């Protein structure tokens, strides 16, 4: 039990997930807390750090083994101790996903679109390409046409090349539009990106974390252990939301879009608790050289600046 009732409720909610997603939580922990401090920690201290989350040692070890097998983590033995780091491939995947989490705002949109036509691909290959591009923010505006108002042509080509689909795909880029979002375009966006469902998920996030924000603000002093647990669950839940969110320009979103309030809430809580959470990390985690190194300068640039 922590000293914060809303935090206890969030921990209980995490524990009651079936199955409990320990591997995903560990990736959140590496991306949010370990990578800024050099990226390598002793497994024993990681187990100690996650114990208050109600995760037993066996489950943590099993999850670490699975992440190593999947290429996310690599292990180094020093004596009888094992130290785990993100692999190069794991770090690239993490950077791609976490870049959205800590951004201070959504970039300005110029009205241009990228279209990818998949009509020349086999059905199986088309399904594979569609899933990957949808993860990158594309939406289907027709059975074989995907669109994205904000993407990097080089990244799209690289993705298609990796999937062995570049030669059989067609990529178009439109010019800037005078009218960025007509009524018909807004309706198409709602349909192609399932905006209403995503909005409901953002509303749930706000309902989960607003009581925690209120409780944190009322505390005279914040316990480092509680702040660490709150920060980890906050980023874990927010990261899972952003993986579903295509990050569409404001011009294409409803005026009452809950994603804006969710981002503000996440930023406010993070700024309030990050310093105490850092104290707990420094007291708990160990590297092969002893204490954690200082956080990188880029850490303090999260959410538009933490200091």
pLDDT digits (tens, 9 = 90+) for 8-18: 999 999 999 87
Tokens for 160?
Answer: 């298609």
**Domain locations along the chain:** 113-175
How do residues 234-244 score in pLDDT, each as one tens digit?
A: 999 999 998 88
Phi, psi at 156, each rounded to 5°:
-65, -45
Task: Tell me, yes or no, if the pTM score tops 0.95.
Answer: no
Cα 275 from Cα 307, distance rounded (Å): 9
CATH class of 113-175: alpha beta
pLDDT at 307: 74
Cα 21 from Cα 128, distance rounded (Å): 24
Cα 102 from Cα 22, distance rounded (Å): 22
pLDDT at 234: 98
Cα 257 from Cα 23, distance rounded (Å): 31
pLDDT at 149: 92
pLDDT at 241: 92
pLDDT tens track, the chain, 307 positions: 788 999 999 999 999 987 888 999 999 999 999 999 999 999 999 999 999 998 999 999 999 999 999 999 999 999 999 999 999 888 887 777 788 899 877 778 888 999 999 999 999 999 999 999 998 889 999 999 999 998 888 889 999 999 999 999 999 999 887 777 788 888 899 999 989 999 999 999 999 999 999 999 999 899 999 999 999 999 999 999 988 898 899 889 988 999 999 999 999 999 999 999 999 999 999 999 999 999 999 999 999 999 7
Cα 69 from Cα 142, distance rounded (Å): 38
pLDDT at 106: 74
pLDDT at 18: 77
pLDDT at 305: 93
- Listed in sequence order, the residues at least 6 apart from 105 whose beta carbon sits closer than 8 Å to its beta carbon are 304
pLDDT at 169: 97
């Amino acid at each position: 039990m922590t000293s914060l009732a809303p935090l206890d409720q969030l921990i209980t909610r995490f524990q009651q997930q079936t199955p409990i997603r320990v591997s995903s939580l560990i990736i959140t922990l590496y991306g949010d807390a370990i990578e800024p401090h050099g990226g390598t920690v002793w497994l024993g201290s990681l187990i100690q750090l996650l114990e208050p989350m109600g995760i037993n040692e066996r489950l943590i070890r099993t999850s670490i083994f699975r992440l190593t097998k999947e290429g996310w983590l690599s292990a180094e033995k020093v004596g009888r101790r094992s130290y785990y780091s993100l692999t190069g491939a794991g770090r690239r995947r993490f950077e791609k996903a976490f870049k959205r989490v800590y951004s201070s705002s959504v970039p300005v949109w110029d009205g241009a679109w990228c279209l990818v036509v998949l009509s020349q691909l086999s059905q199986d290959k088309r399904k594979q390409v569609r899933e990957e591009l949808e993860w990158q923010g594309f939406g289907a505006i027709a059975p074989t046409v995907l669109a994205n108002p904000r993407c990097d042509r080089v990244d799209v080509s690289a993705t298609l090349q990796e999937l062995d689909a570049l030669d059989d795909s067609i990529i178009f880029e439109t010019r800037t539009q005078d009218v960025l979002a007509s009524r018909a375009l807004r309706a198409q966006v709602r349909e192609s990106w399932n905006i209403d469902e995503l909005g409901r998920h953002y509303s749930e996030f706000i309902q989960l974390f607003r009581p925690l924000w209120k409780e944190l603000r009322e505390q005279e002093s914040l316990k480092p252990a509680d702040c660490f647990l709150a920060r980890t669950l906050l980023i874990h839940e927010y990261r899972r939301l952003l993986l579903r969110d295509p990050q569409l320009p404001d011009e294409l979103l409803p005026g009452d879009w809950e994603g804006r309030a969710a981002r503000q809430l996440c930023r406010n809580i993070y700024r309030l608790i990050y310093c105490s959470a850092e104290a707990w990390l420094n007291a708990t985690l160990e590297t092969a050289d002893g204490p954690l190194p200082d956080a990188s300068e880029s850490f303090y640039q999260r959410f538009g600046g933490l200091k």
